[in-house]
Chains A and B, each alone.
Chain A
Amino acid sequence: MKLTLKVWRQPGPKATGKFVQYSTTADEHMSFLEMLDVVNEELLAKGDEPIAFDHDCREGICGSCALMINGAPHGPRKATTTCQLHMRTFKDGDTIVIEPWRAAAFPVLRDLVVDRTALDRIIAVGGYISAPTGSAQDGNAIPIPKEDSDLAMDAASCIGCGACVAACPNASAMLFTAAKVSHLGRLPQGQPERDRRVLAMVQQMDEEGFGGCTNYGECQEACPKDISVENIARMNRDWVRATLSDRGEAVASAGTG
Chain B
Amino acid sequence: MNLDAKVPGGPLEDKWDRHKKDLRLVSPANKRKFDVIIVGSGLAGASAAASLAELGYNVSCFCFQDSPRRAHSIAAQGGINAAKNYQNDGDSSWRLFHDTIKGGDFRAREGNVYRLAQVSANIIDQCVAQGVPFAREYGGLLANRSFGGAQVSRTFYARGQTGQQLLIGAYQALERQIGKGTVTMYSRHEMLELVVVNGRARGIVARDLVTGEMQSFAAHTVVLGTGGYGNAFYLSTNAKGCNVTAAYRAYKKGAGFANPCFTQIHPTCIPVAGDFQSKLTLMSESLRNDGRVWVPKRAGDTRKPADIPEAERDYYLERKYPSYGNLAPRDIASRAAKEACDDGLGVGPGGRGVFLDFSSAIKRLGEDTIRERYGNLFEMYERITDENPYQTPMRIYPAVHYTMGGLWVDYNLMSNLPGLHVIGEANFSDHGANRLGASALMQGLADGYFILPYTIGDYLAGAKLEAVDTSHQAFRDAETEANARLGKLLAIDGTRSVDSFHKELGHILWEKCGMARDRAGLQEALARIPALRAEFWENVKVPGSAETLNQSLEKAGRVADFLEFGELMCSDALIREESCGGHFRTEYQTEDGEALRDDDRFAHAAVWEYQGENQTPVRHIEPLTFEFVKLATRSYK
Known contacts A120-B67, A127-B172, A139-B142; is A153 also within 8 Å of B239 by CB?
no
CA of A52 to CA of B489 in the docked complex: distance in angstroms?
19
B125 shortest CB reach to chain A, Å: 4
Complex interface: chain A residues within 8 A of B133 (CB): 149-150, 152-153, 156, 183, 187
Known contacts A59-B281, A124-B175; is A139 also within 8 Å of B124 by CB?
yes
Number of interface residues of A (CB under 8 A): 82
Q: Which of A36-44, A91-99, A208-216 contacts B (4 or more CB under 8 A)?
A: A36-44
Complex interface: chain B residues within 8 A of A34 (CB): 276-278
Nearest 4 interchain pairs by C-beta: A143-B140, A124-B179, A128-B172, A136-B129
A220 shortest CB reach to chain B, Å: 18
Known contacts A133-B50, A156-B133; is A57 also within 8 Å of B179 by CB?
no
| Interface membership of B292, Cβ < 8 A | no
Number of interface residues of B (CB under 8 A): 80
| Interface membership of A190, Cβ < 8 A | yes
Complex interface: chain B residues within 8 A of A86 (CB): 383-384, 386
A interface list, Cβ under 8 A from B? 11-13, 27, 29-31, 33-34, 37-38, 41, 44-45, 47-50, 52, 54-64, 80, 84, 86, 88, 109-110, 113, 115-117, 119-120, 123-140, 142-146, 149-150, 152-153, 156-157, 159-160, 183-184, 187, 189-190, 254-257
B158 touches A30 (CB 8 A): no
| Interface membership of B233, Cβ < 8 A | no
CA of A149 to CA of B142 in the docked complex: distance in angstroms?
10
| Interface membership of B32, Cβ < 8 A | no
Partner of A37, one of B69, B164, B276: B276
Complex interface: chain A residues within 8 A of B240 (CB): 55-58
A146 touches B137 (CB 8 A): yes
Q: Which of B188-226 contact A (CB under 8 A)?
A: 210
B172 touches A143 (CB 8 A): no
Complex interface: chain B residues within 8 A of A152 (CB): 131, 133
A255 touches B380 (CB 8 A): no
Partner of A133, one of B51, B241, B277, B279: B51
In the complex, the chain A residue whose C-beta lies closest to that of B498 is A44
CA of A143 to CA of B139 in the docked complex: distance in angstroms?
7
CA of A179 to CA of B356 in the docked complex: distance in angstroms?
35
B499 touches A41 (CB 8 A): yes
Known contacts A63-B69, A133-B51; is A138 also within 8 Å of B125 by CB?
yes
Q: Which of B297-305, B407-415, B540-548 contacts A (4 or more CB under 8 A)?
A: B540-548
Complex interface: chain A residues within 8 A of B136 (CB): 143-146, 149-150
A254 shortest CB reach to chain B, Å: 8
In the complex, the chain B residue whose C-beta lies closest to that of A186 is B133
B140 touches A84 (CB 8 A): no
Known contacts A34-B276, A34-B277, A125-B179; is A88 also within 8 Å of B386 by CB?
yes
Partner of A30, one of B122, B138, B276: B276
Known contacts A184-B131, A187-B133; is A56 also within 8 Å of B65 by CB?
yes
